[in-house]
Amino acid sequence: MYGDNPIRPPRGVDGKLIEIKEIFSTLQGEGPLAGVPAVFVRLGGCNLACTFCDTDFEGFETLPLGAVLAEVERKAVDETGCRVRSLAVITGGEPMRQNIAPLTSVLLEMGFQVQIETNGTLMRPLPEAVMIVCSPKNTGRGYMPLREDVLDRTSALKFLVSAHDERYGEVPELGQRGRGIPIYVQPMDEHDPIRNARNTELALTIAAREGYGLSLQLHKMLRIP
């Protein structure tokens, strides 16, 4: 959306209706589960407007929970009806903007591993088995310290880095120090091969210096959704 999206507030509803942009099968391309076959549930709307974000999460529709679950199951199986994707990734936009507790609970009951991708500014009570990957964002006024309830539940932190955007030149301390949370650095995609190469070089430098993991957006390299 490149920052052109409306900033949408959290929705305090019961989770029986969900604003959905799309549901699709792919590989998880980023973070600790990169390369794992997955069904992505992209929720509509975000509470931030990041200028580098190239994801379209507007133009969503409101669907009943049952319809969302049925579509996830349909995308998880092959032509014989055998489930070949057991990871469900709930992303956005910002998924914590909506009440996703019922969705995550039923997906776990259905035998899915559930991963949430969040910017860390919002939090919902979720089942303990849900894996939360937090990618903090700099809104232009600096990073905000991460919420304690987010840090307590975060399975991994993923920081974007850029050699050209001073807001993303380093990995900031946002309260994660001493918690043992795995940290990944990911080159920002600036849609320019030369700039992206410099961003990758910076990510490699930071990862090697600090002992962080490296996340390289496999889905873009493979040209898959």
53 is catalytic: yes
117 is catalytic: yes
Residue in 51, 54, 164, 192 annotated catalytic:
54
Residue in 40, 60, 112, 159 annotated catalytic:
40
Conformational region of residue 75, where left means phi above 0, alpha means psi within -120 to 50, and beta covers everything else: alpha
54 is catalytic: yes
164 is catalytic: no
104 is catalytic: no
Residue in 22, 26, 52, 55 annotated catalytic:
55
Q: Parallel, antiparallel, or unpaired for β 87-91 and 154-161?
A: unpaired
219 is catalytic: yes
Q: Please give the distance of CA 6 from its chain centroid, rounded to a whole number.
A: 19
What are the structure tokens assigned to 122, written together?
Answer: 């919002």
82 is catalytic: no
Residue in 112, 117, 118, 134 annotated catalytic:
117
Residue in 19, 50, 94, 134 annotated catalytic:
50
173 is catalytic: no
Catalytic residues: 40, 46, 50, 53-55, 117, 219
